[in-house]
Amino acid sequence: MDRETVYLEILQPDRCCLCFLVRAYANDHLKSLLDECVNDPATRAKLYRSKGFCRRHAWQGVHQHQSLGMAVIYGSLLEKGLQELPVKPRFWNIPKAAACPLCESEKARDHSAVREFIHIWSESEKLRDSFVEKGILCLPHLEKTLGQKMNSNGRKRLREAGEKALKRLVKDLNEFLEKQDYHRSQEPLGKEWDAWIRAVRMVSGEKD
């Protein structure tokens, strides 16, 4: 499947397409690592330096039910940690753990996804039209994409489409808030019922 088709298929009015791609990549990368790389010396060395995954990615591994891979990695980390416990307390010069390798990989994929989106946006009228109709970017990804190199017309159109989609959300959120007031509290909630959740998603990104 070509990349233009991928973006066209994942556009949703309530989900940032770039967040979706990066999150899917991170899940696949974690699964692949736990399935195939737990005994790879280079992978193990990275995980020793980082003292395992960050909390977010460690619990993703748990929720993926990757019990064997997680047991191998965290069993060896526990053993190594016990061997390296200091005899005397250290109040300074405590070695800092390296960054979580999955966080680093996720960051690189996020950067490449932003550039890829802008390349397709600049080339594909179909993507531009579809995005105007039903796409949205979270605020961080809208800022990142607008900071990429592109022609002024493409940047103007992306800014207008991105702002329009987010302003629809603001409208829904305001409607939700108004219905919390006792004057309107008896009115049933419509499509704005989850606007506060969508607002979190559009400011802070997808949930883990």
Structural domains in the chain (count)? 1
Tell me what pLDDT residue 94 has.
61
Q: Is the pLDDT of residue 124 over 90?
A: yes
Domain coverage including residue 108: 3-204
Average pLDDT over residues 37-43: 90
Task: Report residue 93's pLDDT band, with 50, 70 and 90 as the boundaries.
Answer: low
Tell me what pLDDT residue 136 has.
96
Tell me what pLDDT residue 89 has.
67
Average pLDDT over residues 191-196: 83
pTM of the complete model: 0.85
Q: Which two tokens stand for residue 87?
A: 């005899």
Q: 82-86, 169-173, 195-199: which has the minimum mean pLDDT?
A: 82-86
Count Cβ neighbours within 10 Å for each residue of 85-104 and write b for 16 or more, e otherwise: eeeeeeeeeeeeeeebbbee
Please work out, in degrees rounded to the nearest 5, the angle formed at the alpha carbon of residue 192 by the alpha carbons of 187 and 196. Answer: 115
